[in-house]
A and B are shown apart, each in its own frame.
Chain A
């Protein structure tokens, strides 16, 4: 079982750099099968992430991050997120993200086309959410 420290440590790394290393009270992960909240003292976990928004709660403050899939490991109150791409919500240009979301949705929305663009749309939408804080 995890140790009894009251805070979590959340580390987000991409192949290029370490994006975040911060203490948090609650971390919400975009798992491949839905959101998962992690509180201190959680059992060790390894899981798949999907493209989405990672949320951290530090006291009354909250931090949002865009993550593009990857993996998470929770162990001894340390959450390690490995993702190919990550960006802090505060660093995302909301207008640009909105624009790329609109342009990523194809006009002739046949099932096949949508399937092809699925990942791009998902990514763009997660970017907008990370920036806006939905």
Chain B
């Protein structure tokens, strides 16, 4: 009797957990859809600003800008780690933190001083456990990063970079390639990659219209480029956050789907055990009754 009671209790507990994971899966699916829509809306801006930069680069001749300054030897670097605030999303955080840690270690071996900035409670607690002190932490970036918030962060990085406090900015995050594929990467955002002429030929909108357009510049190409570059950096940083948000929801959906399926198979297994135990008990009781009746004769 004790065994069957216990099995019923366990099955009930697993059913409750299954309900929770199933709900979390549905929530993650809905949030993923929203995050993906946001990321796709941002795509137009990203494409256009790259096009502008390359058009300007072709007109401006040799470009020199503080944001493009490549240092021969990088002595001071900044690593921004974008992880999630919440867990239960499988290998999402682990993947990012592994990449970040590898980069941190290789920086240390090369004698590069690294400032560590963390976004997301998961990365904060991880590095606290590793006894690595972080220089700044952020926990306000959720599944809907707003441009205003990212812009404030970007301005802070731009200031550090232009004043020479850092010579390189790296971001560790989960890049979104497709709904079925995301990879944890460490990307160098500053110094910016030089906008080149070939860019404009390769991008789709320019391909449709291959001739070089003679632009009129107001006020002039160099000055506009000077403002396009910071804007394009902000957009790239924003894209990192958007990608991270989308990837997090995907990771959570996949994990919760797996958890729900596991719960299903456990419920099945326990049900079977329970039925068998119950049957065995009935058989035992019958044989006891028969045994008792036989003893009376």
By a beta-carbon cutoff of 8 Å, the part of chain A in contact with chain B is 11, 13-18, 31-33, 36, 43-48, 70-71, 73, 75-76, 80, 82, 84-85
Contact = CB atoms under 8 A, between A and B. Distances in A.
A16 B38 CA distance: 7
Chain B residues touching A, majority SS: helix
Interface in B122-171: 146-148, 151
A36 B217 CA distance: 13
Contacts, number: 82
A85 B150 CA distance: 13
A82 B45 contact: yes
B48 A80 contact: yes
B49 A43 contact: no
Interface footprint category on B:
20 to 34
B146 A16 contact: yes
A13 B219 CA distance: 22
Given A14-B45, A43-B216, A73-B55, 15 more contacts: A15-B42, A15-B45, A16-B42, A17-B41, A18-B44, A44-B216, A45-B215, A45-B217, A46-B52, A46-B221, A47-B218, A73-B48, A75-B215, A82-B48, A82-B49
A15 B147 contact: yes
Contacts of A75: 213, 215
A71 B218 CA distance: 10
Contacts of B55: 46, 73
B85 to A, nearest CB: 20
Chain A residues touching B, majority SS: strand
A71 B285 CA distance: 86
A119 to B, nearest CB: 13
B266 interface: no
Given A18-B41, A47-B217, A47-B218, A76 B48 contact: no
B211 to A, nearest CB: 11
B52 A82 contact: yes
Contact of B38 (A17, A31, A80): A17
Contacts of A73: 48, 51-52, 55
A76 B209 contact: yes
B235 interface: yes
Nearest to A31: B218
Nearest to A17: B41
Contacts of A44: 213-216
B170 to A, nearest CB: 21
A53 B238 CA distance: 25
Across the A-B interface, give the 4 residue pairs with the lowest CB-CB distance, nearest first: A47-B218, A17-B41, A15-B147, A13-B45
Nearest to A69: B227
Contacts of A47: 217-219, 224
Interface in B218-259: 218-219, 221, 223-224, 227-228, 231, 234-235, 238
A70 B38 contact: no
B67 interface: no
Contacts of B238: 15
Contacts of B38: 16-17
